[in-house]
Amino acid sequence: MKKTLMRFLCLAIALTAVCSTLCLSACGCNGKRLPPLAAELEQSLKEYLGSDAFKDKLLEVKTAQDRLPLLYLKYVGGVTYSDESAAQFEKYLSFIDELKTDGEIDDAKFENSAAQQQGWYCVADYLYAYSLIYNQYEKYVKDGGAKENKYAANLTAIEKYIKKADKILEGGGSLGGYVAWGYAPENILPLTAANLGIKNATPYCDGYMLSYYEKDETGSFVKEGGTPNWVGFTGRPLAGSLYRDHEKYDVVYEKTMQGYFPFTDGYDQPLSEMINLDRLCNYYNHTIETGESVAPQYALLTAFMHGIDMDSYKKAESMPSLGETGEEVFDVIAMWRNSLKQKDGKYVIDNLADMAVAIAYVSQCYGVNAPTPLGLFSPDVRIIRL
């Protein structure tokens, strides 16, 4: 009787272990049932984020454009940044000290400053990067790397500067230099404020950004989206995602009026020859014959942050020239998935752009409505447990 009972208990334990393993693979580490692709991507992310290649890449990233994909790591639990990474963060964040006069940030102090020598173009350009690095450092702190974020003391001075800069732009003035390619002062300031949790600081820039959604008497949008960055995020649509809840916001604009890269060869193409979100369905893996680099992942990521469903994408415009006039639904996620390398039947994540897409997609499967690299870091958003 005792032997029979022991065999029964051993069988029950074995079955429990098998069921637990099956549940974890199907449901993800948080116990939430995931689509098969999301579960596979979690494993791919786990391998990439644990690799030496990723650790080395963390220390190579210097520009704001390259840094933005790393901000998606806010959705991933566990220690991400090493003490060596933190030392870099502290170096760049400390540059702000020599930009102050009597405790306030002063454009006149930028000339020959460490920030300028590092490669930033003006104070506003540096502060945008500062806002990204600040959030990386905040994650390092919240993951247990330090007791506090000692750079939080600078937020008051930054808020004053942003408010002053917004008024300068309203009067038609300059911020003392240009900003990074693909951005403009009118989107840099709202982005910086949002990343540092600063509210109601950019009324002029907010109005400027919302003016893109204005229409003429025929119902057509008045403005086009502006100069795109082919291999990274573009400032206008990036900042546009901050206004999703505003009554003037129109997602149709984001689908049709913002170009990301051309499907023809050359430069300065009109919007009709650019990949917008509606055309991404047809040209995701398009190669420009001149050999110019493009990165469709950033269009996909921008769509995510605007809350657009990219695995059931419906076009806002019909394009008879492309033979499409109906209500066809496109799975752009599948197009991205098909662009990934595979090894031993598993998808391989081996770069920051694909890492960001994978995190955004898995986060969405866990219930995040519009995954974004923007905003002040909070421990509550760490929903992916690898």
What residue has token string 């059931």? Answer: 312
Closest Cα partner for 254 from 239, 269, 240? 240
CA distance 238 to 304: 11
Q: Which pairing describes strands 104-105 and 100-101: parallel, antiparallel, or unpaired?
A: antiparallel
Going residue by residue through the chain (386 aa), what tens digit of pLDDT does each one get?
Answer: 445 545 544 444 444 443 344 344 445 555 667 899 999 999 999 999 999 999 999 999 999 999 999 999 999 998 899 999 999 999 999 999 999 999 999 999 999 999 999 999 999 999 999 999 999 999 999 999 999 999 999 999 999 999 999 999 999 999 988 999 999 999 999 999 999 999 999 999 999 999 999 999 999 999 999 989 999 999 999 999 999 999 999 999 999 999 999 998 888 899 999 999 999 998 898 888 888 889 999 999 999 999 999 999 999 876 555 455 557 899 999 999 999 999 999 999 999 999 999 999 999 999 999 999 999 999 999 999 98
CA distance 61 to 57: 6
Cβ atoms 235, 187 nearer than 8 A: yes
CA distance 206 to 187: 8
For 382, list phi and psi in degrees, rounded to 5: -80, 80
pTM of the predicted protein model = 0.90
For residue 312, count CB atoms less than 10 angstroms from its CB and return exposed for 0-12, middle for 13-18, buried for 19 or more: exposed
Q: Mark 79-103 as b/e (b = at least 16 C-beta within 10 Å).
A: ebbeeebbebbeebbebbeebeeee
Q: Token digits for 368?
A: 């995040």
